[in-house]
Amino acid sequence: MVTLEDVARHAGVSLATASRVLNGSTRQVGASLRAKVELSASELGYRTNVAAQTLARGASNVIGLVVHDLIDPYFAAIADGAMRVAESQGLMVMMGTTHRDPSREIAYVSTLNAQRVRAVLLVGSRVADPEPTRRLREELDRYRETGGRVACVGQDLLGTDTVVPDNRAGAAALARALAGLGHRKFAVLAGPDWLLAPRDRVAGFVGALEELGLPEPLVLYGSFDREGGYAAATQATGVTCVFAVTDVMAVGALASFRDRGVRVPEDVSVAGFDDIFTLRDLVPALSTVRLPLPQMGARALELALDATGEARAETVAGEVILRESTRALD
């Protein structure tokens, strides 16, 4: 293992000089010494020991990124946006997946704190139970006390900078658009009730229908994935329009209807939420609420990195996009 000291000795300079040449300092180093050091470093194949550097500097060049599930394209898209920002700033990304287990989220924050990462990005819905949120917040506070920066994508419940998808308003707008198509009898394929994002979407949708004086929709709970959408959709009878709280669940619903010979949109309209890029080519094309996922991830990291005093919450609106999976009732 080649150390800075080896390089310094080989170049015939002091450790300090070698450090200043190789690892970016404000201090000037004379051209001839600088050249010698650089040559030695490359001849010996020197690689900075980042752990030592972090220890000495008291700050690392790593950020932490905690998401629920990488396979879910929702998170992949947000993560991608965040990673682009990280790359552009020369930061490495330490990634953790919680598989929707709040305690794993807490554990990751603790670990990332131990790693002394520059910033932590928490991506994904908070849970309804206040207890894990309280403990997470405690852990985050501990991290922030020592200079850590935090930002979230999700509900603004942690006292951090947060990019908040406006789930309620988006779902409400979708409800109005769907009602505008003439639909009156709805089913909502809701995700698990203990997650806030699906909850808010359901609430927004239901609330908007109520405001319009329409009958209450049939709310069917299922897991937060394709299978959940499939299962819930099998019970969605007697309605003209189905709102699945995520595109991924909507895909399950489409599959369910297809398997049962129910035509979309002729027999039933289906809408999702998120506008997942990979699903853009579904047939029928999915009506949905578009969220600018990569931008949200990027923005969250930007917020975390440029530290201001108080926590900011930036709401991002969803845009209703009607495609082929929903049709106007005649």
Partner DNA sequence: GCAGACTTGGAAAACGCTTTCCTGGAGGTC
Partner DNA sequence: GACCTCCAGGAAAGCGTTTTCCAAGTCTGC
Residues that bind DNA (CB under 7 A): 1, 3-5, 13-17, 19-20, 22-23, 25, 27-30, 32-33, 46-49, 52-53, 55-58
C-beta separation of 89 from 62 below 8 A: no
**Out of 16, 35, 39, 71, which residue is the one contacting its own copies (CB under 8 A)?**
71
Task: Give the separation between CA 111 and CA 170, rounded to whole angstroms.
Answer: 35
**245 lines the binding site for its own copies (CB under 8 A):** no
C-beta separation of 165 from 176 below 8 A: no
CA dihedral 152, 158, 164, 167 (to 10 degrees): 120
C-beta separation of 144 from 176 below 8 A: no
Q: Which does 316 bind (CB under 5 to 8 A by kind): DNA, its own copies, none?
A: none
Element (H, E) at 151: strand 149-153
Task: Name which of 120 and 172 has its Cβ closer to its own copies.
Answer: 120
By the 10 Å C-beta count (0-12 exposed, 13-18 middle, 19+ buried), 32 is classed as exposed
Q: Mark 300-329 with x for binding to its own copies (rule: CB under 8 A) and - for no binding.
A: ------------------------------
**80 lines the binding site for its own copies (CB under 8 A):** yes
Task: Name which of 4 and 121 has its Cβ closer to DNA.
Answer: 4
Q: Mark 207-226 with x for binding to its own copies (rule: CB under 8 A) and - for no binding.
A: -------------------x
3-state secondary structure of 47: coil
Q: Quote the tokens at residue 96.
A: 């953790």
Task: Name which of 94 and 164 has its Cβ closer to its own copies.
Answer: 94
Binding site for its own copies (CB under 8 A): 1, 45, 47-52, 54-55, 60, 62, 65, 69-71, 73, 76-77, 79-80, 83, 87, 92-97, 110-111, 113-116, 142, 146, 226, 248, 251-252, 254-255, 258, 277-283
